[in-house]
């Protein structure tokens, strides 16, 4: 009888507690998130006023974006469009370059290749491309792994006239792999060759088969000879990719990136030198950060006005994909430079989030 009373009390505590199984939470989150159809222009919307957002501040935001050479701006809440604004002669169908925001897309594709068993990011790059893909000695080249390319820690000299060059003569040893963080586009771009080698597909076909066709993205990569690979798409396609990131690589009932551990690593600090950088992805809310071309550690968070859990794909001339899991938000911006051009982060990021903070009242 004593045991029976104990069991009744135990189950009463469990049933009346606020604790819920993690699986139930994840199911609710998936149900709450809307995904647009793969084809057509239908995309559900939600009014800013229903979210308690300030309509006057939205008008101020639109005026600000226009003065900052913006072409397209989209905000998604729970997958639904809250704000979609185009400027000048730009419209829903026009395509624009992602610049270095495409790096995050590449990292996602590397994760798919690993989950498909085509590569292992802990293996050295020369396992896939052979010796001599750089100008470093064989000993130093063999220290460089796929993970080093994903984390910008190859050790190559980034202070070059052409940081985009992928020729061996442009990939020059400066430090052992893993000991120095430097934003080197040429070294990152070599990942395209790795994916082509292991998959037997050209990079465009691989991206289309593994991601674009599955989530309704309309875009293409343009490879400059012996240089970087740039992705172009319309603004809604950029927003679709942001929604895919928000949902940890899942789209409706399909898991696009099956390696949960890899995705978690992509959006968390990938090394100790620059904690604000994951796998080709920028991270907010860390203790310090390093910027491209500047070998200096800056204290504090990457974007102080933004939520601390924000992670982002950032490109030259202020191409932006911001993802904020705590608020189930995706924010994208396409356009020309907002005025203070940098390879990724610029003063525009914090200015913009200051206005979004006021508008959303968080």
Closest to 223 measured CA to CA, from 255, 189, 196: 189
SS3 288: strand
For residue range 64-120, what is the model confidence (pLDDT) as tens digits? 999 999 999 999 999 999 999 999 999 999 999 999 999 999 999 999 999 999 999
Is residue 34 very low, low, confident or very high in pLDDT (cuts 50, 70, 90)?
Answer: very high
DSSP state at residue 145: B
Mean pLDDT of the chain: 92
Cβ neighbors of 24 (< 8 A, separation 6 or more) are none
Span 162-191, pLDDT tens digits: 999 999 999 999 999 999 999 999 999 999
Is pLDDT of 14 > 50?
Answer: no
d(CA 9, CA 14): 9
Q: Are strands 80-86 and 96-97 parallel, antiparallel or unpaired?
A: unpaired
- Residue 343's pLDDT band, with cuts at 50, 70 and 90, is confident
pLDDT tens for 216-259 read: 999 999 999 999 999 999 999 999 999 999 999 999 999 999 99
Alpha carbons within 13 A on the beta-carbon side of 232: 8
Q: List the alpha helices (DSSP H) in 18-141.
A: 22-32, 55-67, 102-115, 126-129, 138-141
pLDDT of 341 reads 72
Q: What percent of the chain has pLDDT above 90?
A: 88
Q: Across the chain, which distance is largest between two alpha carbons, in Å?
A: 83
């Amino acid at each position: 009888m004593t045991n029976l009373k104990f069991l009744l009390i135990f189950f009463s505590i469990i049933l009346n507690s606020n604790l819920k199984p993690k699986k139930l939470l994840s199911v609710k989150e998936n149900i709450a998130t809307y995904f647009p159809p793969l084809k057509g222009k239908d995309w559900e919307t939600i009014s800013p006023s229903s979210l308690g957002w300030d309509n006057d501040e939205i008008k101020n935001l639109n005026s600000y974006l226009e003065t900052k050479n913006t072409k397209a701006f989209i905000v998604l809440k729970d997958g639904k469009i809250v704000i979609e604004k185009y400027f000048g002669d730009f419209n829903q169908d026009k395509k624009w370059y992602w610049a270095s925001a495409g790096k995050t897309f590449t990292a996602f594709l590397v994760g798919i290749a690993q989950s498909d068993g085509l590569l292992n990011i802990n293996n050295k790059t020369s396992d896939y491309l052979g010796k001599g893909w750089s100008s470093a000695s064989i000993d130093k080249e063999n220290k460089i792994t796929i993970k080093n390319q994903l984390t910008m820690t190859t050790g190559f000299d980034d202070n070059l006239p052409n940081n985009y060059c992928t020729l061996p003569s442009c990939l020059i040893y400066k430090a052992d792999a893993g000991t120095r963080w430097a934003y080197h586009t040429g070294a990152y771009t070599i990942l395209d060759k790795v994916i082509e080698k292991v998959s037997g597909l050209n990079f465009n076909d691989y991206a289309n088969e593994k991601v674009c066709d599955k989530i309704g993205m309309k875009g293409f990569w343009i490879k400059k000879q012996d240089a970087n690979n740039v992705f172009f798409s319309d603004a809604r396609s950029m927003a679709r990719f942001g929604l895919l990131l928000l949902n940890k690589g899942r789209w409706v009932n399909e898991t696009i990136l099956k390696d949960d551990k890899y995705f978690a690593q992509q959006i968390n600090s990938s090394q100790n030198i620059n904690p604000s950088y994951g796998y080709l992805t920028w991270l907010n809310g860390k203790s310090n950060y390093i910027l491209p071309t500047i070998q200096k550690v800056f204290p504090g968070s990457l974007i102080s006005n933004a939520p601390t859990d924000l992670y982002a794909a950032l490109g030259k001339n202020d191409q932006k994909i911001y993802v904020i899991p705590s608020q189930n938000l995706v924010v994208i911006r396409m356009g020309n430079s907002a005025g203070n051009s940098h390879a990724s982060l610029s003063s525009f990021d914090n200015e913009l989030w200051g206005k979004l903070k006021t508008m959303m009242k968080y």
